[in-house]
A and B are shown apart, each in its own frame.
Chain A
Amino acid sequence: GDSVTQMEGPVTLSEEAFLTINCTYTATGYPSLFWYVQYPGEGLQLLLKATKADDKGSNKGFEATYRKETTSFHLEKGSVQVSDSAVYFCALGGGNQFYFGTGTSLTVIP
């Protein structure tokens, strides 16, 4: 069945460092791919999405490219800030359901 595998955490970075959080997927058909962010004590918020192969989603300096050949949707940011500290979830939408990764906790230290 469909599934998402994402990089284990936690990840700790210094402010202005480069961020990559890996996400790979298994799917039949042509799913849409998403990154959600969860700040402490809150629900998830959509960060970015891509609906077809080679699409690049971007928001707030974060980017991810839908790579069909490697079944990947890695999240990147060139220069992280303390305010980016949160849990990041990769997700796949296909058929009638959504599948989320296990989440990657990011802490950015000044």
Chain B
Amino acid sequence: DAEITQSPRHKITETGRQVTLACHQTWNHNNMFWYRQDLGHGLRLIHYSYGVQDTNKGEVSDGYSVSRSNTEDLPLTLESAASSQTSVYFCASSEERSSAKQYFGPGTRLTVT
């Protein structure tokens, strides 16, 4: 069955370190998204991609970057981790753009100490 996976599921890192969160989908979807989930804010869009070599900034992109070198993967990099980036991160993919169903990964809980 097609799926979307994230790794690691839990990560603890120190302030200032570079961290990369992996997202891999086997749906062959062109569209992929990264969100962060924080209490009182719901989900907020960090970055999204509509295809290979395409990346776009979302609502809360500062301090994050993504790259899309193939259809299956959209890694999220925190260039210099900050305590404000402690959160749960969700990756999602969809077959069509914003009107379509999104498939979510299980999430990565990141703690920055």
User: Could you list which residues of chain A lie within 8 angstroms of chain B, going by C-beta atoms?
Assistant: 31-32, 34, 41-46, 49, 51, 89, 93-103
Contacts and interface: CB of A to CB of B under 8 A. Distances in A.
A97 B42 contact: no
Contacts of A95: 98
Interface of B: 33, 35, 40-45, 48, 50, 56, 58-59, 90, 92, 97-102, 104-107
Contacts of A97: 45, 48, 58-59, 98
Contact of A43 (B59, B90, B97): B90
B98 A93 contact: yes
A98 B58 CA distance: 9
A34 B41 CA distance: 17
A101 to B, nearest CB: 5
Nearest to A2: B98
Contact of A101 (B35, B42, B92, B102): B42
For chain A, what secondary structure do more than half of its interface residues adopt (helix, strand, loop), or is it mixed? Answer: strand
Contacts of B44: 100
A38 to B, nearest CB: 8
Given A98-B33, A100-B42, A102-B40, A44 B98 contact: no
A49 B59 CA distance: 23
B42 A44 contact: no
A103 B59 CA distance: 18
Given A96-B56, A102-B42, A32 B98 contact: yes
Contacts of B106: 41-43
Given A43-B107, A44-B90, A98 B40 contact: no
A91 to B, nearest CB: 8
B2 to A, nearest CB: 15
Contacts of A101: 42
Nearest to A89: B42
Given A46-B101, A95-B98, A102 B45 contact: no
A94 B98 contact: yes
Contact of B104 (A41, A44, A93): A44
A32 B99 contact: yes
Given A43-B104, A44-B90, A98 B98 contact: yes
